[in-house]
Amino acid sequence: MAIFKQGLPEWQKAGTKPPSGMITGGWVSSQKPPADYFNWFFNTTYMALKELQEVADREFIKRDGTVSMTSALKVKLASNSGSVLIINEGSISHGFATAITAAGYIAMAPTGADGNPDWTKQLTLNRLGNLDVQGLTIKGEQIALAKDYLSLTGGEMIGQIASAATTPIQARLLNGLYSWNRGKQPSGTVVKVELRITGTTVYTRFLEITVGSGEGAVAPEGDFSIDAMGINDGLVKGTAPIGTTLRYSINGVAMTLGTPVAQYWYRVTRSEDGSKDYLQFGAPLDFSGIGGTIGSGVNFIQPYLRFNGRDVAIKDEVLLLAGGELTGTVHTRASIAYTGKVGDIKHYINPQANGTVIRFELFIDGAWSKSLDITVGDTAITGASDFFLNPMTNTTSYITGLGPLEATKTKATVISSGANTISGAALPTYWWLRILRNFYDTCIQAGKNLIFSGYGNTPLEKVEFKTTSLLRNGKEIAIVDDVTAVQSSLTTHTNDAIKHITATERTNWNAKETVSGAQEKANAAIDTSKSYTDASIANHANDAVKHLTASERTDWNAKETPTGAQGKANTAENNAKSYTDSYFSSKTIVSNVAVYLSDTQSYTWNHTNMKKGMYIEVVRYTVGTGSNDYGYHEIFISKDFIERRLGKACWLPMPQSVNGEKKAVKFTLSGGTGTITGYASNASSPDSSWAVSNIRYE
C-alpha cells in the first residue's frame, strides 16, 4: 500500500541536458531556451520524484504500521517529543522491553508485575559506548557490580583499581578442575561424565572412559576431559568449562552432580588482618624481559628477602653477580657452608658379553633426553664430566657413573636385542665436594680424589701450608721447620772436631802398632788371663743358686703372664661375639633388582649357613615402565618350611591384593646349596604388577 496520496507529474520526453555553463550561470536576459531543455528539466524532475516514492514506499515505515527497511532510519525529534523515541512493544511478552531514548541511549528493561517496562532496572548503552547496568554476569559469573568496574579504552585499562576486596585481582584459566572420590572400580567399568550449562536442564555433551584401559578422553573442543583411571585409582577427575554443571555415572547409573573448580594462575591478595600482601602464582614464575629475553634486572627495595622462611639477603649482606661471577663476600651461618652435588648412577642390568653395546638413557623433563652408548669390555670412561659411565666387564651387574640430578628415571637397552631395563627412581645425590664445620674443625671433603693442580691440570709452582703440624692418617709428617732443624743438626755434626779426625791425626794413627804386632801382644795377654778365666768360670758354673735347671726353665716358661692371660681372655670374648653375630647375621642373595622371578630366574644360597629362614622383598611394578618405588613389602619363609616343601609350588600372596596377585616359587636343595626358582605365571597379569627387589637370609 503506497504511503503517498498525490500523483506524480508524469513527463516522458527525455529532452536534452543544457551545457554546464548554462546550468551554472542560468538564463540571461532576452534568451529564448530551446524546447528540449525544458523537456529535460520536466523529465528529470518526474523521474526523481518517482524514484523517491518507490524507495520510500519500500523501505520506510508505512501507514499500516509495518516496517520494511534496508537502509538507515533517521528521525528528528521535536523539542516536546519526550524521552523515549521508539519502544519495541513486541518484546514485552518475552519479559523485557527495548527502546531508543531522545538522548541517544539504547535501553533494555524487564517488565514489571503490571506488564509494563521497569525502567529503574534498565541496562543502557550510550553513543560513547558507556554501559550502565545494575548487575552484569557472563556465563553465570558476576563481573561488574554497582561502581566496581574497570574503565577500558581500546582494550587498555587507564583508570585505577579501587577495591575493598581481600583478593582484588585474580586471573583464572578458561577451564576448571573437577573430581569425585568414588573409590576403586574393577577393570572394564564404564565411567561417563555429562555436561550442561548451569541454569539449564539439558545435558548437551558427555565423555566416557573404561577403567583399566589406560586411556582418558578429551572433547574435540579441548575444553572438556576425563583422566584415565586404573583399578587402584579412586578419583574420577578432569577439566570442564567454568559455568557448567556436571554429573557422572558408573555403568549407566547416574551418581552425583558437581561443578568445576576454577584454576587460578595469578592472584593479588592479602591476609585477613591486612598485615601481609601476597602475589600468588599457580605455576613456576619467570622474571624476564619481553619475549623471554634477559631483562635489565630486578631490584628488591626491602629490608629483608626470604626463601622458604629463611633469609637469603639481609641489609647489605648480599651476593653481587656480574656475568655469572661472584664478586661479593659469601656469609653463611650454616654448619655445611658449601656443597657440590651430582646424581649417582647405579642401574641394574644382567651381565653382558664383551663387545655388547648398551645404550643408557636419562628421563629429564618428561622425555628421554640424554644418552650414552657404552661397550662392555672397554676400559675407558664414557661421556663427559657432567654425565659419564664407568667401564663395564662381562661380570658387571650394574651401570655406574655420575649424571644430572634432574633425571627422574633411567633406562638401559641392549642395542642388538632391544631388551631393556627401566628404573623408576630418581638419581640419588653424590656429594663431590663439601666445606663444613665440625665443632671447631673446618673440613674440606671430596667425594673421591682431591687434586691440587694448575690450570689445565699442570703442576703448581708450590703449595704452602701455614701450620704447626701436618698429619697423614693421624701420623705427623715432616714440615719445613723439621727439615731446617735436621739441616742445622747435620751442620753441627759435620763441624764437630772431636767426632772427626784430621789428616795429621790419621797419619799418626797409621803409625801405631800393626795387626800382627798387636796380635802377638794380645796372644800373650790371652794366655795370661785364660788360667784366671777358667778358674772363675768353673766356680761360677758350679753355683746352683745363681743357675736354674732345665726342668725349672720348662716349668717357668709354661706359666702365663698377666698380660698374656688378659689377651687370651679378650680373644675368647671377641671370638664368642663374632660367632654369635655371624650366626644370626643377614646375608644377601640378590639386591637392588626388579625381576618377575619367572621360571628362567633362579638364585642360590649356602643352606648350611641359614639359621632362621629367607626374606623376600617385593615392590609394585608397571609393565613396560619398571619399579614404581612404592608398595614395598617383605615376606618371611622359615627354614623349616623350605625343608618341608622342597620341590613344591609355594604361593606367596602379595599385600593388598585386588585380583589375587601372588608369586609362585619352588625350593630345592643340592648338598649344602639351596635354590629358589620362580614360575612363568609370575611374569603374566595380574602377578606381573609386582616385582622381587631383594632376597636375603638369616
Q: Is the peptide bond before 168 cis (omega within 30 degrees of 0)?
A: no
Estimate to the nearest angstrom the gap between the alpha carbon of 410 and the chain centroid.
15
pTM flag (> 0.75): no
Residue of 48 and 298 predicted with greater confidence:
48
C-alpha to C-alpha distance for 678 and 690, rounded to whole angstroms: 13
- List CB contacts of 242: < 8 A, sequence separation 6 or more: 139, 141, 172, 174, 175, 176, 260, 262
C-alpha to C-alpha distance for 572 and 579, rounded to whole angstroms: 11
Neighbours of 87 (CB within 10 A): 15
**Mean pLDDT score, 620-637:** 92
**Mean pLDDT score, 680-693:** 93
Residue of 626 and 479 predicted with greater confidence:
626
> What is the model's pLDDT at position 238?
93
Neighbours of 421 (CB within 10 A): 19
C-alpha to C-alpha distance for 315 and 336, rounded to whole angstroms: 23
Q: What are phi and psi of 497, to 5 degrees?
A: -75, -15
HEC-encoded secondary structure of 519-544: HHHHHHHHHHHHHHHHHHHHHHHCCC
Residue of 11 and 564 predicted with greater confidence:
11
> What is the model's pLDDT at position 269?
86
C-alpha to C-alpha distance for 384 and 406, rounded to whole angstroms: 17
| C-alpha cell of residue 199 | 541454569
Of the listed ranges 92-101, 636-645, 660-669, the one predicted with least confidence: 92-101
C-alpha to C-alpha distance for 387 and 372, rounded to whole angstroms: 9
Contact 343, 404 (CB under 8 A): yes
Contact 33, 16 (CB under 8 A): no
> What is the model's pLDDT at position 254?
84
**Mean pLDDT score, 460-489:** 77
Q: Looking at the chain, how many residues does it have? A: 698
> What is the model's pLDDT at position 466?
83
Residue of 99 and 67 predicted with greater confidence:
99
Tens-digit pLDDT profile for residues 197-232 = 988 888 999 999 999 999 999 999 999 999 999 999
DSSP-derived pairing of the beta strands 673-678 and 602-606: antiparallel
β partners of residue 310: 307
CB-based burial label for 599 (10 Å; 0-12, 13-18, 19+): middle
C-alpha to C-alpha distance for 324 and 316, rounded to whole angstroms: 20
> What is the model's pLDDT at position 46?
92
C-alpha to C-alpha distance for 370 and 408, rounded to whole angstroms: 12
545 band by pLDDT with thresholds 50, 70 and 90: confident
DSSP-derived pairing of the beta strands 277-281 and 304-307: unpaired
| C-alpha cell of residue 185 | 572400580
DSSP-derived pairing of the beta strands 382-384 and 387-389: antiparallel
Q: Is domain 337-432 given the CATH code 2.60.40 in the classification?
A: yes
Write down the domain spans for the chain: 1-24+32-71, 84-125, 134-286, 337-432, 435-476, 584-697
> What is the model's pLDDT at position 157?
56
C-alpha to C-alpha distance for 499 and 494, rounded to whole angstroms: 9
132 band by pLDDT with thresholds 50, 70 and 90: low
pLDDT at 127 over 60: no
**Mean pLDDT score, 448-465:** 86
Estimate to the nearest angstrom the gap between the alpha carbon of 655 and the chain centroid.
30
Nearest to 375 by CA among 394, 362, 403: 394
C-alpha to C-alpha distance for 314 and 306, rounded to whole angstroms: 9
C-alpha to C-alpha distance for 401 and 396, rounded to whole angstroms: 13
Instruction: State how far the alpha carbon of 582 is from the alpha carbons of 215, 434, 568, in Å.
Output: 53, 36, 21
> What is the model's pLDDT at position 156?
58
Tens-digit pLDDT profile for residues 137-178 = 555 555 544 444 444 344 555 556 667 777 778 777 778 899
> What is the model's pLDDT at position 478?
66
Over its C-alpha atoms, the chain yields an Rg (Å, rounded) of 52
Residue of 274 and 599 predicted with greater confidence:
599
Question: Which secondary-structure segment (H or E) carries 169?
Answer: strand 169-172
Rounded mean pLDDT of the chain?
82
In the chain, the amino acid numbered 223 is D
pLDDT at 316 over 50: no
Contact 157, 150 (CB under 8 A): yes
C-alpha to C-alpha distance for 431 and 446, rounded to whole angstroms: 8
Tens-digit pLDDT profile for residues 243-269 = 899 998 999 888 878 888 877 777 888
DSSP-derived pairing of the beta strands 277-281 and 264-270: antiparallel
> What is the model's pLDDT at position 572?
82
Of the listed ranges 51-55, 124-128, 322-326, 387-391, the one predicted with least confidence: 322-326
In the chain, the amino acid numbered 453 is S
117 band by pLDDT with thresholds 50, 70 and 90: confident
DSSP state for residue 328 in the 8-state scheme: S
| % of residues, the chain, pLDDT over 90 | 38
> What is the model's pLDDT at position 326?
54
E strands, 271-366, are 277-281, 304-307, 310-314, 321-322, 325-326, 336-348, 357-364
652 band by pLDDT with thresholds 50, 70 and 90: very high
> What is the model's pLDDT at position 147?
43
90 band by pLDDT with thresholds 50, 70 and 90: low
In the chain, the amino acid numbered 240 is A
C-alpha to C-alpha distance for 402 and 429, rounded to whole angstroms: 10
